[in-house]
Chains A and B, each alone.
Chain A
Amino acid sequence: MLIKSSKKSQLQEHQVTDEKIYQQRRTLLKSLGFVGASSLLAPVKANAAVDWFGDEKQTAKLRSLAFEKATPGLDKLTPEQKVISHNNFYEFGAQKNQPAELSQSFNVNPWQLTISGEVEKPLTLDYDDLFKRFTLEERIYRLRCVETWSMVIPWIGFSLASLIKQAQPNSKAKYVAFETLYDPKQMSGQSNRRLGGGIDYPYKEGLRLDEAMNELSFLSVGLYGKTLPPQNGAPIRLVVPWKYGFKSIKSIVSIKLTDQMPPTTWNILAPHEYGFYANVNPTVAHPRWSQARERRITSGGLFAQNRIDTQMYNGYGEEVAHMYKGMDLNKYY
């Protein structure tokens, strides 16, 4: 089904009203006792201290997107509130709740994403191009963090391959290097070591060209029907669902095709713990913890936690396993 949106300005207005009504409805339902005991309490707020004093939290304006809807799979979706409040995005603080708190004034328009390096036709996409150049589709992917938690998220975007194809990689192109925006003025984690967790910025990631061209590799510009909130990597981020979450780099400004394997942030920081490939693999433990199982983040508190087996390639083996045939996965973790 194709849902067409009308003008941008109208939608912003509509969006705000819609959320207000949504909140009122929640309050009403709660007061009537229509919702289950576990959800009786208010939805998770990123900043409890602010809520206690009753201040309205300033959140980034998001707008609805037009996209082809995905057919729902078997996995239960992680609630939107959790997807947008539990984030690893050290550019806005290394604590899980910090990105949602510290990124709301992050300005993503104007934006420039360049595709360069070993290509025939280098490209530059501006903010509007990100949403207009390709038909947007929804994909529901599992996201497995290297820290052993996981989510199921309805992303909106387009395949990475379709973008790379337009730039026409030349014969030297073997790898794809990605870079996050470097803007310490806006990204407090980049200017403050304590906030930023001591990693070197800008954040860098990389894929082998065949991995990048795989049909699963996805560039996301939205989630849950709307543009990405800053804390989830607005305006455009990578999603590679068969790899640990840190590979899915956020707020990308540069995609460069290279002939050499590019350096990647976590690999530079702790090479014995984080490899270039970082494929989800329950049989290869992180040096400090097992990767055999994971906790799926859905709704529910301490007693409603869902612990499940981690699947090889996060369950996407059919689509990706062939790329790693004959490789020693203990060595190339």
Chain B
Amino acid sequence: MTVSKKIFLIKSVIHVIALGLLISQYYLAIGDQLGGDPVKAIIHFTGIGAFNLLLITLTVTPIAQRFKLGYLMQVRRLLGLYAFTYASCHLLSFIAFDLQFEWQLIIKEILERPYITIGMLAFLWLVPMAVTSIGVIKRKMKSRWQKLHYGNYIIVTLVAIHFYWSVKSELIEPGLYIVITFVLLWLRKDRIHKIFTK
């Protein structure tokens, strides 16, 4: 199989899984088939989905390096954009279905609840990353592009805290996510050290 065929195949799988799950979960939620509280269910699904996608995105580079599969690097953009899509759905579902466009309350919650503030910050950082994933813009930005996209390390840390902070008492799952996040960042400790000392 040629490299371009492999990439096409991997990308197709990503599309089918990420888009398929998103559409089917919304379909079930709209039809009231997602448990007792479809709103909470869809917010949790899109939130954890965005986090999973961010972590998968961060797993690509170490795998590509370890197994000398350079072409894998090309799927990072698609994964990142799906992470952004899920995060957008997460935020929109919170605003539309949970708080139901009560803007005063929405603003109050974002400002006053630390875990929501942190989640919002992570999302706001994702926006320029998504926009600059367009090829033309990326080329124009030159080295500044990479700097902006190193922001992913901060985003994923914020998201881990956001998740840990949002649960009532069941800390094992968010704890596990924090460990995974830490490991993925630890694999890049030299690069991160460079970014912060330059």
Give the B-binding residues of A (Cβ under 8 A). Answer: 38-42, 44-46, 48, 82, 85-87, 90, 94, 96-97, 147, 149, 193-194, 197-199, 269-270, 288-290, 292-293, 295, 297, 299-305, 307
B residues touching A (Cβ–Cβ < 8 Å)? Answer: 26, 28-40, 42, 93, 97-100, 102, 105, 108-109, 113-115, 165-166, 168-173
Do A288 and B115 have beta carbons less than 8 Å apart? yes
Known contacts A197-B169, A197-B170, A305-B100; is-contact A96 B35 (Cβ 8 Å) = yes
Contact A97 B35 (CB under 8 A): yes
Q: Is the CB of B109 within 8 A of A289?
A: yes
13 more CB-based (< 8 A) A-B contacts, given A96-B36, A193-B172, A301-B33:
A41-B32, A44-B33, A85-B36, A87-B36, A94-B170, A149-B40, A194-B173, A197-B170, A198-B171, A199-B169, A270-B169, A297-B36, A305-B38
Measured CB to CB, the closest approach of chain A to B82, in angstroms, equals 21
Query: Pick the contact of A289 from B35, B39, B113, B173 — CB < 8 Å?
Result: B113
- Contact call A86/B37, Cβ cutoff below 8 A: yes
Let me know if A307 and B33 touch, CB within 8 A.
no
Contacting pair B36 A305 (CB below 8 A): no
A42 to B31, CA, bound (A): 9
CB of B103, distance to nearest CB on chain A (Å): 14
In the assembly, what is the distance between CA of A40 and CA of B32, in Å?
Answer: 10
- Give min CB distance, B100 to chain A, whole Å: 5
B37 engages A297 (CB within 8 Å): yes
Residues from chain A with a CB closer than 8 A to the CB of B171 are 198
Give the CA-CA distance A145 to B170 in the complex, in Å.
17
A38 to B32 CA separation, bound complex (whole angstroms): 8
A39 and B30 alpha carbons, distance in the complex (Å): 11
Known contacts A198-B171, A289-B109; is A302 also within 8 Å of B36 by CB?
no
